[in-house]
Structures are given as structure tokens and as C-alpha cells.
A and B are shown apart, each in its own frame.
Chain A
Amino acid sequence: MHIDARTHDRAMLQTDVCIIGAGAAGITLAISLAGSGLRTLLVESGGFERSTETDLLNAAATPTIGGGYLMRSRVRVFGGTTSHWTGFCLPLSDATFTVRPWVPDSGWPIDGDTLHPFYERACAQLGLDPWARGGDPSPAPELPRLPLSLASDGFGTRIYQIKRGVHFGEQHRDALIDADDVVVLTHATCTELRASERQVERAILRTLTGKRLEVEAKAFVLATGGIENARLLLMSNHTHAQGLGNARDLVGRYYMDHPELTVAEAVLWPGWELDLYAGHRLEGRYVQLGAMFASPARQRAQGLLQAGIQLARAGRRWGTSESSAVDHAVTAAGFWLDCARGGAREGACLPAAQKTSLFVRAEQAPHRDNRVVLTDDRDAFDTPTPRLEWRMNELDCTSLQRTVQAFGHALHRRGLGRVRSFLGHSDLRQVDVTYGLELSDDERDRVHLERRPTILLWGHHMGTTRMADDAGRGVVDRHCRVHGVGNLHIAGSSVFPSGGAANPTLTIVALALRLAERLRETLAGGG
């Protein structure tokens, strides 16, 4: 059933599970609960089409990030941000889940083994080939990889799968509306969760037409994204002055995204196939794309965060008019030296060398001062708008520089080419930061070609309701239940305590599938 809250005549709704937010997490939960015998209400702030009036509810201040970062990266529509998702999928690496002594506040209370079966189910839902445990998608791409996987090299290739045009709203709308035990409620914005000491009693919903509804449920799930999940908890201060679940002042803190930037250019000697790194279309279904990551041993030895190194514009010939004579000289001399060492391939010829930009999508270390706070400004519901306090920290910057350096050394050692870093004299805490999706292809190309870094963020809002078994270190427990609030769960990337370097949507879906299983078990059993 579908209800438009603007025309609904009842002020109170009752259900078993109330899911607030119909994005990747909320829709996955609702699909998984359909047919379970539990009555599910799926609440969406927007409708089935975007509207400017609803989008204006995304107003937020981001003083350190340009490009309308929080205004444009969030979408209030049925389907949420999957409506403009680029479709990049990759499971988090095992290292992401572990406590890494060189990364303060790192580590999840669950591990890769726990999540693996849910990743497999997430792949089935998205129409992807499942990744083998800790390895490649199966079947693995047959394209050759850069040979950098020896222990002394310390880099390996991981394979993204990119599935374009996956709009959860369009894909699942009809099935959810037709489901006997699911109600889809659109145009209803949750402005507060009213709670007793240890339980959410009801959700307050409002429409832009002035209506007010309340929902009572056995269980509530917040699935409104990394900014709104925190904002809603902070705004829900009727009985908890600091906000719901915020007794330890953790809600909104530890915000992370995946900074992406062009870090270097490389000249790769001819003879190495780079098709995998340029994106390999597979039977028209999706694209497989290789990126190189430092091995766990190298990360540990050098104190690195994770970072996926991708090759942009692969296939351009060396020796274009953009290159200076010095560039020519250093690459030509390097090529000959490597030939003498037996590194470059027999029969190779310098003019066939490929010049490429290297860009990375990097992990950001969790830091409690990167946070979402409420401001005195008000939105159309007279509720406080959020401000994001965010910056690159020292570990984020040094890790990037060390990663590029290590990658350059590995290429050099194996006689594969030479790297020219753009990071040498840059203080990455001072460079421009902007929302990547707002740039046109030409603008993005220009950013890649500029030999100075510009940080692009893609709206991966993570960490603001982080997961930890210890209530003093996290907002939710390993089951995504808010510490101290028995019937409130959180879905989405706001629960990630560390973000790794993989795009978050696949993990969001896997965690939502896991949470659905938990809710089915606990609620069906009367828990």
C-alpha cells in the first residue's frame, strides 16, 4: 500500500517496524521484511519524484567543502541517493574491520567473516558477481594485472564492479506497494523521535503542507543517511537533553568521507596491459575496474590508511606536447636504465609508453572533531539545520604521501615505469575541497590534469553513529541497536566506525540485510 502523508486523514499510525528513510538501506530492509509477518511502515521525506521544495530541506553548512556538498549529495526521493549513484561496488577489506594501532579509534566489533554471507546476498540483490572471501569477484576477470603483488612490492589489485543505473526506488517501488504487510508513506519528514527513558515511544512526522502524524511501532530504524541520522538523534532531546543515544557525546562525531584526488602522473613502459585499470565492460552488464591497494603488511609497516590507486586516462601515449623536455629526459633515461636492468620488456619501445594520471580514493582516519552539529538556523519545519565541521587530518595527509611514494618505489623496483608525485610540496590540509558529482566531465578532466591536488568528495557520509560494543566508544552496538534505547536501530553508513577505501553502498546493503534478519528473529520471537 502507498499513502501520501499530505492527503492522509489519520493522525496516528501503528506498525511493527517503522523504517525512516527510503534509500538503499531502508528499501533493502523493507524488501527483506516483506512477507515476514511483521507489519512494516517505510517512511520517506520526499515522493517518487524529486521536488525543489523537498530538496531545500537538505540545507546545511559545510564551511570547508565547496560545490554544495551536503545540499546536492543528499536526495529526498523514494530511492534516496541511489537515484544518482555511480554504482561502484567493493566489499570492505578485512583490514577495515580490525583494530590498527596506527589508526586511532579504528576497528569494528564484527569482522569480515560475519559480513561475508550478507555481501553475497547483497551481490545477488544488485545483480553482481559475488566476491570470493577476501578476493576477487567470481568468475575473476581474465585481464592481466600489473605485477606488483610480491611481498617486496606490497601492492595488490582489487576489483570494483560498477553497475550503472541501479535506482532502488524505481526497482522496488511496485513490489513494496503491492506487498501485503508493507506500507510506503511518502512526503512525511520525521522531525523527532519521542522516547521514554530507554525506549522510543513514537516518531513525529510532518508534511510541508502542515500536517502532523505520529507513528507507534515495536521497533524503529533510522535509515536517513549519515547526516540526518545524527541530526535526528540530536534533535530528539525531549527527554534526553543531549539528544537520543548521545549520553557519551558521540552522536555526530567521527564523520568520514573518501577523499579522492589526483596524486601523481606515471609513465608506464610499454608491454603492460592496462585495460583492467581503465575499466573493462563485461557483456554489457557492468564494468570491472582494477585499483591497486597497499597490502596489509605494507599498511602496518608504514602506518598507512587504505587507498585505492586508479589509473585515469590510461592509454595516452608518452611524449605529448604537455610534457617538458625534462620530463622527456627523465622518462627516456629511466626507460633505458630499466631496460638495462631487464625490467622493461623485450622489444619495448619508449614512444609506445603510456602516460597516465594516478588518482586515489582514500580512507579517512576517524577523528572525533570531524562532526555534524546543529546550528541556530531553521528549516521549513522550524528544526535546526546541520553544520559539518570537517577537515583532512595529519594521518590522512601523511598516509597519502607515503602511499604514493611506496607505489612509485614499487613501480621503479619492478622496472615498470616512473612516477611523478604532485604531493611533494602540498599541504593537503590547505587545498581546495569540493563535491565531485557537481563537476562536469571537462571540469573533472581539468582537475586530473592540473599538477596540483584538488580533493573531491563524493558524499559518502560515514561514522556519525559509529558501531562499538562499548557504549563509551560507539552509538550503536554490533547489531546496529542504539546503546541504551532498546527498540531503536540505525541502518546505513553512519554506523561505520572505519570507512576503508571502498564505496559504501554494497556494505550498506549487506548491513541492512543483516539487520533485517535480526529484526525478524527478535520481533517474531517477541523480543
Chain B
Amino acid sequence: MPYTRPIVQDTPDADRRLVLRALASLVPLIACARTTSTLPEPPRALPAVFPEALAVLGRHYLAAHPEDDDREALRHALGLDDAQPESSWLAHLDASLHRDLERGDIIELEGWQLTRTECRLYALAALG
């Protein structure tokens, strides 16, 4: 994959709200990366290459964990199968990440040590 410099804003005072909004934008973006012909406009804070790069990681994860190769099951595991407000989804995600870390449910992908929840997010990008 050719190198693309990220276009993250170099604003040292980027606040938590911006980050939360960017993160919230991430999931629908990667979830529909493969299903719609026209991607939503990436938020300014997201590198354009993100969906593809995360999908690469997701494919690595699915190759090693074929039992997770099910889009609906992944959406369910990530708390995305019900219409819910952003704050509720973030709370679900937070709980899921904490659970992974408490259990030591960490997976090595390309050397990166990632929680299972993170890996499932990327897998969803790959399946999208």
C-alpha cells in the first residue's frame, strides 16, 4: 500500500469533543466502506486512507479468527445492531474495551497489541 501522509489537523488544543465526534464518525464510515458506492465525506480529522488501512488489519484478524467472519454477529458484539444515540454506543464500546483489557483479551495483529473489540471494529471495516 503506498504511503499517504495523514491529514490529521495539527492543532495542539484539539479538545475531547472533537475526538469523540471523530471517533463516532469512524464507525459508520468503516461499516459502509464496502457497501455503498459513495462514501460519506470523511470528517476532517480522519486520514483518507483510514478505511482501507483498517480493513487490511480487519482481514488479517478474520484470517486468524474465521469464527468472527459474520457481519451481523460483529455488529451485535460491537453494540451497533440497535439504533442508539452516539453516547450509548460509546458507553457500550468503553465497557467492551475495559472487559477485554481486564480479561487480557488482547490479540496481536501485525505485531500491534490490540483488544478484541478493536480488532472487531477493523473486521467490520473489512466485511462492510
Seen from chain A, the residues whose Cβ lies within 8 Å of a Cβ on chain B are 264, 319, 321, 323-326, 328-330, 332-337, 339-341, 344, 346-352, 405, 408-409, 412-413, 418-422, 424, 451
Contacts and interface: CB of A to CB of B under 8 A. Distances in A.
Given A328-B47, A420-B112, A341 B94 contact: yes
A349 to B, nearest CB: 5
Contact of B94 (A340, A347, A424): A340
Given A325-B1, A349-B13, A418-B113, A336 B6 contact: no
Contacts of A347: 12-16
Contacts of B5: 319, 321
A451 B46 CA distance: 27
Contact of A329 (B57, B93, B111, B113): B57
Contacts of A337: 23, 93, 97, 118
B54 A333 contact: yes
Given A340-B20, A420-B110, 8 more contacts: A321-B3, A325-B1, A325-B3, A326-B57, A339-B19, A344-B19, A352-B12, A421-B111
A155 to B, nearest CB: 15
A323 B49 CA distance: 13
Interface in B71-95: 90, 93-94
A349 B110 CA distance: 25
Contacts of A328: 6, 47, 49, 53
A339 B45 CA distance: 14
Interface string B3-31: 11110111111111001101100100000
Main secondary structure of the interface of B (DSSP, over half): mixed
B49 A325 contact: yes
Contacts of A405: 106, 113
A337 B10 CA distance: 18
Contact of B19 (A340, A418, A451): A340
B3 A420 contact: no
Contacts of B9: 349
24 contacts: A324-B3, A325-B1, A326-B53, A326-B110, A328-B47, A329-B53, A329-B56, A330-B53, A330-B57, A330-B110, A330-B112, A333-B26, A336-B23, A337-B93, A340-B19, A340-B93, A341-B94, A347-B13, A347-B15, A349-B10, A409-B101, A412-B101, A412-B113, A420-B113
